[in-house]
Amino acid sequence: MKRILIFIAVISCSACTGMPVHSFGRTVQGSYDVETRYDMKTVAGMFSGFAGKWSKPDGAIESEIVGQVRSNYGANVADTFESVYGPKLESDIHDYLASEAPPWVLNLDASMSRVDKQLDTVDMESSWLIAEKADTGDLEATQIWSGFAVYKDPDCPDSEAIACEQLHVTSDELLDAEYPVEVVSSKYTAVDQGDTLSLDAHSVDFNYGRLGLYLLTNLILPDTREKGAGLRDVVLAAINYRNLAGRLAGDDDVYGIDVGDVTINVSLDDMIGNCEDGVFGMTNKFVDRFDVPLTMNLSGSTSIVDTNRDGSIDQLTGGNVDGDLELQTVAGDSKKGPVDGLFIGFRVGDVN
């Protein structure tokens, strides 16, 4: 938390302490902790769009029960059952979920919109190793990503009245997630221009959709028991399927309906299985839509400052990158647009 507050203060100041170093003998080589704040509004609305694809559990369970009736009694009986009793069955399931399950189970829109707005501003935490190339003498910067941070309240940092607490996610946590998120490390040439360092074109790649899915599952939904839980686990744990099946089956533990001269009987165990399978299949289709790779093509520059005048650069200040980004959804849709970021870095070690 302290580092983020320092980050905001430094990129906002008009004159920072320390002095740019122009003298011979100073060194830029070293390892730096760097935080970059990206403005991702170009892809705003992506997750709200996914929310419309969330199939309601009541419909999914009803469809699974109809499927078993079709398997056991044939298509004609199943079609009649669905047209006559389907709406009532779905309504009964809906009423149970509305009274017994968490509110988000029937309506994920609010949670999805929250993730959408949180990802308007993304802080990416990384380590930079700046070293001299042996063959050319140019500087080469290597970025190794260590995590992300987003604002807990999506109205930050626009509202000064709100305490802007951040949610931090490490790269290890993302790699251990149900759907791993890996940010590919990148290398590029850095040109020393006296009091500035120019950063040549480079790419940053990560799965934007899976990052949103991780935030939704582990940091937004209120029923998550521990970090690293998968959305399937969270959704399945949110509904008491035996209790729901028991409500539908009645006191004799058999869901029985007469369709013409055919009596349909579905046992309690089969009803439990239908409830679980319906929700599980629905959730699988939902999470599959979150495979959304994103590439940012960037270049930029930063001021270099020797704060204690010992000949080694201590800070990268007023850094900026900009360029364009592109993402691709599993449905084949793509989105392109501009992206920019501000960064600051602090020396944490030397290069041997």
- Phi and psi at residue 186, to the nearest 5°: -135, 155
Q: Give 276-301 pLDDT, tens digit per residue.
A: 999 999 988 888 888 889 999 999 99
Beta strands in 235-276 (DSSP E): 254-259, 262-267
Q: Which of 146, 119, 138 is nearest to 33 (CA)?
A: 146
The pLDDT tens digits of the residues spanning 29-42 come to 999 999 999 999 99
pTM to 2 decimal places: 0.80
Q: What is the tens place of the pLDDT at every residue in 34-83?
A: 999 999 999 888 887 776 677 789 999 999 999 999 999 999 999 999 99
Q: Residue holding tokens 């170009």?
A: 42
Q: Which residues of the chain have pLDDT under 50?
A: 1-24, 225
CA distance 280 to 60: 9
Sign of CA dihedral 93, 96, 99, 104: negative
Per-residue model confidence (pLDDT) at position 112: 84
Give SS3 for 323.
Answer: strand
- pLDDT for 344 equals 96
221-7-48 Cα angle (round to 5): 30
Task: Give the ranges where 103-216 is alpha helix by DSSP (H).
Answer: 109-118, 171-175, 208-215
The CA-atom distances, in angstroms, between 133 and each of 29, 142, 189, 190, 330 are 11, 12, 9, 11, 40
For residue 6, what pLDDT is reported?
30
H-run or E-run covering 77: helix 75-100
Helix H or strand E segment including 296: strand 293-306
N residues, the chain = 352
- 118: amino acid identity, one letter: Q
| Encoded amino acid at 201, one letter | A
The dihedrals phi and psi of 114, each to the nearest 5 degrees, come to -65, -45
- Cβ–Cβ under 8 Å, residues 187 and 202: yes
Q: How far apart are CA 142 and CA 29, in angstroms?
A: 11
Distance from chain centroid for Cα 223: 17
CA 253 to chain centre: 42
Confidence at residue 219, expressed as pLDDT on a 0 to 100 scale: 67
Q: Measured over all CA atoms, what is the biggest interatomic distance in the chain, rounded to whole angstroms?
A: 97
So what's the pLDDT on residue 235? 85
- Rounded Cα–Cα distance for residues 30 and 27 (Å): 8
